[in-house]
Amino acid sequence: MTHTTQRIAAALLAATTALGCTPAKKEEASVSTDKKPAVSAAVTKPAAAPAPADIPAPSDVAAPPADAERTATGLASKVLTPGEGGAHPGPADIVSVHYTGWTTDGKMFDSSVKRGKPTSFPLNRVIAGWTEGVQLMVKGEKRRFWIPQELAYKGRPGAPAGMLVFDVELLSYTEAPKPLPVPSAPADVAAPPKDAARTKSGLASKLVTKGSGEAHPSATSVVEVHYAGWTTDGKMFDNSYQRGETAKFPLNGVIPGWTEGLQLMVEGERRRLWIPEELAYKGMPGAPAGMLVFDVELVKILQK
């Protein structure tokens, strides 16, 4: 469920270094009572290293040249250094890159090269121009992109405006986790069956698959789960299977129905939960309304 998952998000941060220098200060001579020579000392503070200079903009920063490749979306690009092989990253793969970005007037606004440290992120968590553009690349390739405003930060306060120009070097990439088969809505999604267990709070549940563990998580345990969630009309609103990865979270950081329901389980168990609205997202804007049904597999208790 969207409110319980922690998704990988990658941000491109700019860093600056302040230049400071403290002049030497000369101390007064000390007077010795045993007639030894007076000693004076000058104490100096080392000057800070100068901040790295901005990387100059390319000569074609104002507009893509005639030989630039163009896509149907308006993205323009040009290979600066060929890469190796013929494999390209996918739209959700995690890439490691070095990059520098300029506005079309030649002002640099961000650069991993200047910071001396590459950055990594999933391609589906960045601006559309990057998601599309980096998929054109192969490992080791360096490419220049002219990204129109519609594929960049249009309407985002504080972000650079207009067309942006990036030099990107694709250092490596890792394939995104493969999606797992998504379970269908259960036949009893509309209401808990007669043989469902019920608690005083109104939570109903039913064992689907027995677990192999014996310990139960506590209300503050950190757990790892796979899950799928439906509204009572059988519409799925969230699941971990399509993302191809489990969800991890503390039980005191989710809806009350999960906090209570997961404590009934042991590792390896799969249980169906019918969670009344009072124990789910009642009054929360944008969240699914009414009773919710979850199939939850407790993969592991990470922290008791």
Assess whether 168 and 206 both reside in one domain. Answer: no
Give me the number of domains the chain comprises. 2
Assess whether 238 and 141 both reside in one domain. Answer: no
pLDDT value for 172: 97
Assess whether 82 and 153 both reside in one domain. Answer: yes
Which of 174, 205, 223 is the C-terminal boundary of a domain? 174
Which of 174, 209, 235 is the C-terminal boundary of a domain? 174
Instruction: Annotate the chain with three-state secondary structure.
Output: CCCCCCCCCCCCCCCCCCCCCEEEEECCCCCCCCCCCCCCCEEEECCCCCCCCCCCCCCCCCCCCCCCEECCCCCEEEEEECCCCCCCCCCCCEEEEEEEEEECCCCEEEEHHHHCCCEEEEHHHCCHHHHHHHCCCCCCCEEEEEECHHHCCCCCCCCCCCCEEEEEEEEEEECCCCCCCCCCCCCCCCCCCCCCEECCCCCEEEEEECCCCCCCCCCCCEEEEEEEEEECCCCEEEECCCCCCCEEEEHHHCCHHHHHHHCCCCCCCEEEEEECHHHCCCCCCCCCCCCEEEEEEEEEEEEC
Query: Residue 50 and residue 85: Cα distance in Å, rounded?
Result: 39
Assess whether 254 and 292 both reside in one domain. Answer: yes
Are 271 and 206 in contact by the 8 Å Cβ rule? The answer is yes
Residue 110 lies in a domain: yes
Which of 174, 209, 230 is the C-terminal boundary of a domain? 174
Assess whether 94 and 164 both reside in one domain. Answer: yes
pLDDT string in tens for the chain (304-residue length): 444 443 323 333 332 222 233 333 333 333 333 444 444 444 556 666 677 889 999 999 999 999 999 999 999 999 999 999 899 999 989 999 999 999 999 999 999 999 999 999 999 999 999 999 999 999 999 999 999 999 999 989 999 999 999 999 999 999 988 878 889 999 999 999 999 999 999 999 999 999 998 999 999 999 999 999 999 999 999 999 988 889 999 999 999 999 999 999 999 999 999 999 999 999 999 999 999 999 999 999 999 9
Assess whether 110 and 203 both reside in one domain. Answer: no
Residue written as token pair 């030099």: 167
pLDDT value for 45: 60
Residue 30 lies in a domain: no
CB atoms near residue 55 (< 10 Å): 14
Residue 257 lies in a domain: yes
Residue 250 lies in a domain: yes
Residue 115 lies in a domain: yes
- CA separation (Å) from 46 to 19, 21, 109, 161, 281? 11, 7, 30, 40, 58
pLDDT value for 47: 67
Are 115 and 15 in contact by the 8 Å Cβ rule? The answer is yes
- CA separation (Å) from 5 to 250, 252, 286? 10, 13, 16
pLDDT value for 176: 86
Give Cα 240 distance to the centre of its chain.
Answer: 16
Range of the domain at 92: 69-174
90, 118, 246: which is closest to 176 by C-alpha? Answer: 90
CATH number for the domain including 286?
Answer: 3.10.50.40
Assess whether 154 and 202 both reside in one domain. Answer: no
Residue 106 lies in a domain: yes
Residue 86 lies in a domain: yes
pLDDT value for 31: 31
Assess whether 223 and 286 both reside in one domain. Answer: yes
pLDDT value for 177: 80
- CA separation (Å) from 153 to 103, 125, 148, 156, 260? 12, 13, 9, 5, 42
Residue 184 lies in a domain: no
pLDDT value for 4: 40
Assess whether 138 and 88 both reside in one domain. Answer: yes
Assess whether 225 and 280 both reside in one domain. Answer: yes
Assess whether 156 and 248 both reside in one domain. Answer: no
Catalytic residues: 99, 109-110, 127, 153, 166
Q: What is the pTM of this model?
A: 0.56
Residue 249, token pair as written in the block: 């979270």
Assess whether 159 and 213 both reside in one domain. Answer: no
